């Protein structure tokens, strides 16, 4: 039901050569195309490492997916993430960076979730899912980045099974234009390849009545897609090296089949999300143990689409839910 990029992981401080910064900009979303033919020759005696790793743990008051499914709303949610970054190419040409990304994300919590439906039934498990991640990231035209990421959501709850997805994301670093007021805009297409990443197919099979929306065309929708538009304005405090505050904001625009139209006509915008995130370096760790960082923040999600609003009948709230607030704390180490 979730994906690795739901974690609020703060990149640790870059190393002195800057290679860590370039690798980390590829993090959490992998990305595009066959690039092995572009490998640059390297001399082992003087080349920096081409392989890096990120280990991160996120702690939150709830588990809510980027698609608005509230999976757990009680107890403490713990989300460990492990990623590797293999630099395939770096240069000063039109394509400046190609990185292979792979890893795995998990969700666990102190409050168990039902192994079988319906939600709330016993037995329960603290482990809700494990998500393998793989893809490429390509930097090009100086300030653009293209990420293509495959994820699978291997659910351990509610007899959901495993769904498969592909995200294509284009982002732009507008710092050279707006400076301290840069917005860092991005747009992504998130496609379900097999199975559903929401509860959209449930109402038609669980509620033994005609659709509430009599004109429904997709009461039990198949795999679908959505577009995600986002900005991440931020400010780095010059007098406090490494401390940064950001306000990630996005809207999710679904295809009419993504949440279905069992309850109402599908909305053009399904989710509005915004929040604040404070990132900081952890400098007291001994040398040789990687670059450590932490983050703390919150995000607010408003479920505009009435189908999504009603789908949380089948999730943790057990009732139609219009909005939610997640508070989180994270720590990460980059090697």
Q: How far apart are CA 123 and CA 201, in angstroms?
A: 23
Contact of 146 with 31, CB cutoff 8 Å: yes
Phi-psi region of 94 (alpha: psi -120 to 50; beta: other; left: phi over 0): alpha
Q: How far apart are CA 252 and CA 235, in angstroms?
A: 25
- pLDDT tens digits, 284-297: 888 788 999 999 99
One-letter-per-residue 3-state SS of 266-312 = CCCCCEEEEEEEEEEEECCCCCCCCEEEEEEEEEEEEECCHHHHHHH
Q: How far apart are CA 169 and CA 137, in angstroms?
A: 10
Q: Is the pLDDT of residue 14 over 80?
A: no
Give mean pLDDT, residues 259-276.
Answer: 97
Q: Is the pLDDT of residue 36 over 90?
A: no
Give mean pLDDT, residues 69-90.
Answer: 97
Contact of 271 with 68, CB cutoff 8 Å: yes
State the pLDDT confidence band at 209, using cuts at 50, 70 and 90.
confident
Q: Is the pLDDT of residue 26 over 50?
A: no
Range with the lowest mean pLDDT among 38-52, 124-138, 314-328?
Answer: 38-52
Q: What is the pLDDT of residue 72?
A: 96
Q: How far apart are CA 230 and CA 45, in angstroms?
A: 42
Residue with token string 């240069």: 91
Give mean pLDDT, residues 233-258.
Answer: 93
Domain region containing 72: 4-41+49-334
- pLDDT tens digits, 157-198: 999 989 999 999 999 999 999 988 899 999 999 999 999 999
Contact of 243 with 10, CB cutoff 8 Å: no
Q: What percent of the chain has pLDDT over 70?
A: 86
Domain total of the chain:
1
State the pLDDT confidence band at 217, using cuts at 50, 70 and 90.
very high
Q: Is the pLDDT of residue 23 over 90?
A: no
Q: What is the pLDDT of residue 24?
A: 36
Q: What is the pLDDT of residue 2?
A: 56
Q: Is the pLDDT of residue 28 over 70?
A: no
Q: What is the CATH number of the domain that holds 168?
A: 2.40.160.40
Q: Is the pLDDT of residue 83 over 90?
A: yes
Q: What would the two tokens of residue 19 be? A: 């290679």
State the pLDDT confidence band at 19, using cuts at 50, 70 and 90.
very low
Contact of 276 with 245, CB cutoff 8 Å: yes
Q: What is the pLDDT of residue 245?
A: 96
Give mean pLDDT, residues 195-203.
Answer: 93
Give mean pLDDT, residues 248-253.
Answer: 98
Q: What would the two tokens of residue 81 be? A: 């993430």
Q: How far apart are CA 25 and CA 181, in angstroms?
A: 19
Range with the lowest mean pLDDT among 55-64, 96-105, 210-219, 270-279?
Answer: 210-219
Instruction: Indicate the pTM of the whole model.
Output: 0.85
- pLDDT tens digits, 307-323: 999 999 999 999 999 99
Range with the lowest mean pLDDT among 35-44, 109-118, 272-281?
Answer: 35-44
Q: What percent of the chain has pLDDT over 90?
A: 75
Q: Is the pLDDT of residue 331 over 60?
A: yes
Contact of 244 with 187, CB cutoff 8 Å: no
Q: What is the pLDDT of residue 286?
A: 86
Q: What is the pLDDT of residue 309?
A: 98
What does 144-207 look like in DSSP terms, one character per residue? EEEEEEEEEEEE-STT--EEEEEEEEEEE--HHHHGGG----EEEEEEEEES-SSSTTHHHHHS
SS3 of residue 19 by DSSP: helix
Mean pLDDT, the chain, integer: 87
Q: What would the two tokens of residue 158 be? A: 């509610």
Note the residue count of the chain. Answer: 335
Q: Is the pLDDT of residue 113 over 90?
A: yes
Q: End-to-end distance of the chain based on CA atoms, in angstroms?
A: 29
């Amino acid at each position: 039901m979730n994906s690795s990029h739901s974690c609020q992981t703060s990149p640790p401080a870059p190393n002195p050569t800057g290679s860590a910064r370039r690798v980390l900009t590829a993090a959490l979303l992998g990305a595009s195309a066959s690039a092995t033919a572009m490998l640059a020759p390297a001399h082992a005696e003087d080349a920096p490492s081409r392989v890096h790793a990120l280990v991160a743990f996120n702690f939150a008051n709830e588990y809510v997916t980027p698609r608005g499914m509230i999976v757990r709303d009680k107890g403490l949610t713990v989300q460990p993430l492990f990623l590797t970054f293999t630099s395939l190419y770096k240069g000063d040409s039109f394509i400046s960076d190609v990185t292979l990304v792979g890893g795995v994300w998990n969700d666990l919590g102190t409050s168990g979730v039902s192994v079988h439906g319906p939600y709330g039934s016993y037995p329960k498990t603290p482990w809700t899912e494990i998500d393998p991640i793989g893809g490429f990231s390509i930097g090009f035209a100086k300030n653009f980045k293209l990420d293509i990421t495959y994820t699978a959501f291997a659910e351990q709850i509610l007899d959901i099974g495993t769904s498969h997805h592909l995200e294509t994301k284009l982002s732009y670093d507008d710092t050279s234009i707006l400076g301290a007021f840069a917005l860092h805009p991005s747009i992504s297409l998130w496609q379900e390849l097999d199975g559903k990443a929401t509860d959209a197919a449930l109402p038609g099979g669980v509620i033994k009545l005609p659709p509430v929306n009599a004109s429904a065309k997709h009461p039990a929708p198949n795999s679908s897609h959505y577009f995600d538009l986002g900005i991440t304005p931020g400010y780095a405090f010059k007098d406090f090296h490494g401390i940064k505050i950001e306000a990630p904001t996005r809207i999710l625009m679904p295809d009419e089949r993504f949440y279905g139209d069992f309850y109402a006509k599908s909305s053009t915008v399904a989710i509005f999300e915004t929040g604040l995130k404070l990132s900081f370096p952890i400098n007291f760790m001994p040398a040789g143990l990687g670059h450590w960082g932490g983050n703390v923040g919150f995000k607010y999600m408003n479920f505009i689409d009435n189908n999504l609003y009603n789908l949380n009948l089948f999730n943790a709230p057990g009732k139609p839910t219009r909005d939610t607030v997640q508070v989180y704390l994270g720590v990460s180490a980059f090697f």
